[in-house]
Amino acid sequence: MKRLSLVFVAVAALAINACKHEQAPTPTPRAQPSPAQRAQELFTNRCATCHGPQGTGDGPAAAALNPRPRNFRDTSWHARATDEHLRKVIVEGGASVGLSPLMAANADLATDVPLRDALVAHVRTLMTAH
Ligand code: HEC
């Protein structure tokens, strides 16, 4: 009898151990991308076609544009252009500030303020990129 219960305990222990092995591994928590990282990605995916990856106004679609996008490395433009102007042109489009309507609105950024502000900051960093 004693031997039987020992066998039972051993089998039960094996079964429990097997169950543990079947459990999915705990997923490693992944850091959420920061607004700055998201803004950089967004610029590459959505803006670089026209503005160029470095913001120099020479993206693949730029040749077809008239007027063409300006060079974001132009320091005097950065000095003139307020953050408010950048926010407005990016969210509401070129036509909202008297620029080309081909600079499309990005209405989704109106509700994602951290991303919008990080994108404005990203455009500022392009001044010194390279
Ligand atoms: C379809 C092409 C196109 C895309 C895509 C585009 N832009 Fe533009 N953008 C333009 C053009 C053209 C102008 C210049 C309009 C003018 O000078 O009349 C402009 C102007 C701007 C300006 C204002 C520059 C100034 O002279 O004041 C900013 C800032 C800007 N774009 C940022 C962005 C950002 C950020 C994105 C991505 C979310 C983006 N653009 C996507 C074509 C584009």
Q: Assess if residue 73 is contained within a domain.
A: yes
How far does the centroid of ligand 1 lie from the alpha carbon of residue 50, in Å?
7
Q: Assess if residue 48 is contained within a domain.
A: yes
Query: Full-prediction pTM beyond 0.95?
Result: no
Percentage of the chain lying above the pLDDT 70 cut = 81
CA dihedral 113, 84, 65, 60 (to 10 degrees): -40
CA distance 50 to 116: 18
Q: Assess if residue 18 is contained within a domain.
A: no
* Site residues for ligand 1, CB cut-off 6 Å: 46-47, 49-51, 61, 65, 67, 69-70, 81, 86, 89-90, 94, 99-100, 102-104, 106, 119, 123
> For residue 20, what pLDDT is reported?
58
**In this predicted model, what pLDDT tens digit does every residue of 66-94 receive, in sequence order?**
999 999 999 999 999 999 999 999 999 99
Q: Assess if residue 101 is contained within a domain.
A: yes
Provide mean pLDDT across the span 16-21: 57
- Number of domains the chain contains: 1
* Host domain of residue 46: 35-125
Statement: residue 14 has pLDDT above 60: no
**In this predicted model, what pLDDT tens digit does every residue of 35-48 receive, in sequence order?**
999 999 999 999 99
What is the average pLDDT value for the chain, to the nearest integer?
89
Q: Which of 66, 72, 34 is nearest to 53 (CA)?
A: 72
Q: Assess if residue 117 is contained within a domain.
A: yes
CATH number of the CATH domain containing 80 = 1.10.760
Q: Assess if residue 9 is contained within a domain.
A: no
